[in-house]
């Protein structure tokens, strides 16, 4: 790949990572404040012999927690951070345009490409807004409250369960931190990937490069793809190879398949040879599949797949 196009892709990777990191920087602190507020609000729950009881007061507290937490989290500072994150989608679009312009004289901007970005931004604003946080973080928390109250659970054990739900540990992230991180990773990376795929199809490119480095969270599929790329057995892969990749067949090796969906572990259900370029390695995948013109692929490899 030419130096210019390679530099553009490095800029793309840097932009994607910085957008995610900038948004999530203060989320752990917000989560701690959320936990403190929940504990404060539940201190006055009616109890009998240390166990929670069903009462009008307790049910009202659950309702108050659901409303107050959503209002307190989605404040002006948070919404500003969401807007700043969403604004990076335009930069991702711009860099992708630069890449395709650098590798193809046939590339031309289309209204469709901008509409793809606009839709992705709208979905992101919804997912990170009050509705998204309520559905994915606050409602499950309220369910914990309701379950313990209606079952007469121990208040001490209830607080322990809430702490586990809203606390980061070495093994896992708390609910708010986990949701925000995964959502932002998927939102901006999937937009970039879908944008890339749409232009790829317009230009008729059929060769791809699996980019990115190994991370602590890398799954077997992504690790195997990187090994195949670095080892030379599959530096580039052809469109016709995607069905076999989805079966876990990479070069001469295989990766475990999750039998429930018949796809490699971590993949999103419904991933197929049409949307693989967008979904890539599944939930939270930060690897990039970049389409490349056949001119950068070794002739010997091109001949194996008819050009």
Q: Which single residue is written with the structure tokens 């790949």?
A: 1
Q: Round the average pLDDT of the chain to a whole number and report it.
A: 93
Q: Is residue 297 a contact partner of residue 207, using CB atoms and an 8 Å limit?
A: yes
Q: Is residue 38 a contact partner of residue 69, using CB atoms and an 8 Å limit?
A: yes
Start-to-end Cα distance in the chain: 17
* pLDDT at residue 134 greater than cutoff 70: yes
Q: Which single residue is written with the structure tokens 């007469």?
A: 152
Dig out the tokens for 144 from the structure.
């914990």
At 296, is the pLDDT very low, low, confident or very high (cuts 50, 70, 90)?
very high
At 307, is the pLDDT very low, low, confident or very high (cuts 50, 70, 90)?
low
At 67, is the pLDDT very low, low, confident or very high (cuts 50, 70, 90)?
confident
pTM over 0.75: yes
SS3 per-residue string spanning 55-88:
CHHHHHHHHHHHHHHHHHHCCHHHHHHHHHHHHH
* pLDDT at residue 124 greater than cutoff 70: yes
Q: Is residue 226 a contact partner of residue 212, using CB atoms and an 8 Å limit?
A: yes
Q: Which single residue is written with the structure tokens 């572990």?
A: 265
pLDDT at residue 277 in the model: 94
* pLDDT at residue 218 greater than cutoff 70: yes
At 2, is the pLDDT very low, low, confident or very high (cuts 50, 70, 90)?
low
- Per-residue pLDDT tens for 169-187? 988 999 999 999 999 999 9
Q: Which single residue is written with the structure tokens 């989605």?
A: 74
* pLDDT at residue 156 greater than cutoff 70: yes
Orientation angle between helical segments 76-103 and 175-203, nearest 10 degrees: 30
At 10, is the pLDDT very low, low, confident or very high (cuts 50, 70, 90)?
very high
Of 166, 158, 138, 163, the C-alpha closest to 52 is: 158
H/E stretch holding 226 reads helix 220-231
- Per-residue pLDDT tens for 17-28? 999 999 999 999
């Amino acid at each position: 790949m030419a130096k210019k196009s390679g530099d553009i892709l490095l800029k793309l990777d840097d932009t994607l990572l910085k957008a995610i990191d900038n948004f999530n920087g203060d989320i752990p602190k917000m989560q701690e404040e959320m936990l403190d507020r929940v504990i404060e609000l539940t201190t006055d729950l009616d109890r009998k012999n240390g166990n929670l009881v069903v009462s009008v007061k307790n049910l009202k507290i659950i309702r108050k927690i659901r409303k107050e937490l959503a209002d307190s989290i989605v404040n002006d500072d948070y919404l500003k951070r969401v807007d700043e994150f969403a604004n990076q989608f335009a930069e991702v679009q711009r860099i992708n345009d630069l890449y395709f312009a650098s590798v193809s004289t046939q590339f031309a901007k289309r209204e469709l490409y901008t509409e793809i970005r606009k839709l992705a931004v709208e979905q992101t604003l919804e997912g990170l807004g009050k509705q998204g946080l309520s559905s994915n973080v606050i409602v499950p928390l309220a369910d914990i409250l309701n379950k313990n109250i209606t079952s007469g659970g121990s208040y001490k054990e209830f607080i322990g369960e809430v702490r586990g739900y809203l606390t980061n540990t070495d093994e896992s992230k708390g609910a708010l931190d986990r949701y925000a991180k995964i959502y932002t990773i998927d939102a901006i990376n999937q937009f970039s990937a879908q944008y890339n795929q749409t232009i790829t199809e317009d230009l008729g490119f059929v060769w791809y490069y699996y980019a990115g480095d190994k991370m602590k969270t890398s799954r077997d599929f992504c690790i195997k793809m990187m090994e195949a790329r670095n080892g030379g057995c599959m530096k580039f892969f052809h469109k016709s190879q995607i069905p076999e990749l989805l079966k876990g067949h990479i070069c001469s090796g295989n990766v475990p398949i999750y039998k429930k969906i018949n796809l490699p572990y971590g993949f999103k259900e419904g991933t197929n040879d049409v949307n693989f370029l967008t979904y890539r390695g599944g939930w939270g995948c930060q690897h990039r599949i970049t389409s490349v013109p056949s001119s950068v692929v070794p002739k010997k490899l091109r001949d194996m797949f008819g050009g």
